[in-house]
Amino acid sequence: MIRNLNSYFSHAPSRAVGLLFAINSFMFGNWAARIPDVKERLQLSEGDLGIALLGLSIGAMISMPFMGWLLGKRGAGQLAYLFIILYCVSMVVPVMAPSLLWLTVSLVVVGITNGATDIAINAAAAAVEKKYNISIMSTSHGMWSMGSMIGAGIAGYIAQKEINQPLHMIVAASVMIFVCISQTKTLLKIKDDQEASEGFVLPKGPIIGLALMTFCILIAEGAIADWSAVFIKGAKLGNKMQAGLGYAGFSLAMTLGRFYGDSIIPKYNKSRILTTCGMIAGLGLVMTISFATPLAAIVGFTLAGFGFSLMIPILFSAAAKVKGIAPGTGIAMVATLGYVGFLVGPPAIGFIAEKTNLNYGLGFIVLLTFTAVLLSSFVKTR
């Protein structure tokens, strides 16, 4: 892992792309840890919060289908640079929302910028892989997980100290924008040299299988991001700091797994890796639901992080290498459905929790995780 990271950070284009992954997740981790405070401040039920979080899905559906077309018009690095800054700015607004309506509207805007950012940074990573004939996708996603872990950990501490939410997010966004600006020259040189596609880009052909797996996995990841803190704190399993540690543990495990990924993935059958990882993730979530203690919840979410760590990098790399489809367009096809799962998952869990309880909501993502395990036997990832 150390040798892989040394090579990664000594290579300017890889380092610049990795920082964008980290910025993206750092801001999301800060938001995830403050969701319980927003829920409490606006006196929202689980169903109300689910409705608000649906705004993220709506926003992503607006921007994602057009990203294949945009990537053909502008370089992946240029689009990643633009949308990450817009995303950081938009992340400040939800914590200021005075009502459920404005919270939902602000999350639609976040969804638009986040959806565009996700595809642009993955396309930039694929472009660097192709140009320099190196493997950086897993490590780049490891940077995403590291940023999320640090963001959630810091935000959990800040939430415990009851520091003002808007001030917290403004400072976080300002620092991340400064980091992004420091990489301007390198990012603007990253291009994927693909032709523009026509309008909406939806999964087709062999990409459909990859997209379905990504959909199942990212529903689970999105649910853990938005509901892990609520699960621990809402079920009175722990305090605000422990609530933040649930997602921080998940992100730490994702980080370590992905930093090893670029060394592991080329050596083994990818379908077997997907199957093994899915089983570990599913068992971790079963543990979280089964034992009503903060330690069990934190350990369970951490195991889930290890399990999910290599699955998305494998699927995104596979999508970027499908014959006859430009890398950026392939990623856009998979991400269009996959990240809809990431964003639809949290509100879906909210609706299930509203009718039953949050244990059943998390049980739903266990079912989807094992569905991804079954699909991994049929999906071609080479």
CB atoms within 10 A of CB 162: 9
CA distances from 7 to 11, 45, 299 (A): 6, 48, 31
In angstroms, rounded to a whole number, what is the distance separating the alpha carbons of residues 112 and 116?
6
**What is the domain extent for residue 81?**
2-375
Task: Provide the H-helix boundaries in 235-308.
Answer: 240-264, 270-290, 294-308
Quick one: pLDDT at residue 233? 66
Best CA proximity match to 339, nearest among 15, 136, 113, 142 = 113
| 248 Cβ contact list (under 8 Å, min separation 6) | 29, 149, 152, 153, 156
Average pLDDT per block of 10 residues along the chain, 382 residues long: 78 94 91 83 84 85 82 86 96 91 93 91 89 88 85 81 84 94 91 58 73 89 78 61 76 87 82 91 90 82 92 86 76 79 75 82 89 78 52
Q: Indicate the residue type of 60.
A: A
271: in domain: yes
Angle between helices 207-234 and 294-308 (to 10 degrees): 170
223: in domain: yes
Please spell the DSSP secondary structure of 330-371, one letter per residue.
HHHHHHHHHHHHHHHHHHHHHHHHHHS-HHHHHHHHHHHHHH
382: in domain: no
State how many domains the chain has: 1
Contact 260, 340 (CB under 8 A): no
295: in domain: yes
32: in domain: yes
In angstroms, rounded to a whole number, what is the distance separating the alpha carbons of residues 301 and 251?
9
Tokens of 117: 């950012």
Quick one: pLDDT at residue 150? 86
360: in domain: yes
Q: Look up tokens 């930093």; give the residue.
A: 259
Tokens of 88: 């950081």
Which phi and psi angles does 92 have, rounded to 5°?
-75, -30
Quick one: pLDDT at residue 88? 95
Quick one: pLDDT at residue 85? 96
CA distances from 278 to 51, 266, 297 (A): 29, 18, 18
CA angle 368, 22, 34 (to 5 degrees): 70
The helix (run of H) or strand (run of E) holding residue 20 is helix 12-41
Contact 31, 314 (CB under 8 A): no
| 182 Cβ contact list (under 8 Å, min separation 6) | none
54: in domain: yes
Q: Look up tokens 């069990």; give the residue.
A: 296
215: in domain: yes
> Does pTM surpass 0.85?
no
Tokens of 188: 């603007």
Contact 331, 126 (CB under 8 A): yes
Q: CATH number, domain at 249? A: 1.20.1250.20
In angstroms, rounded to a whole number, what is the distance separating the alpha carbons of residues 275 and 331?
21
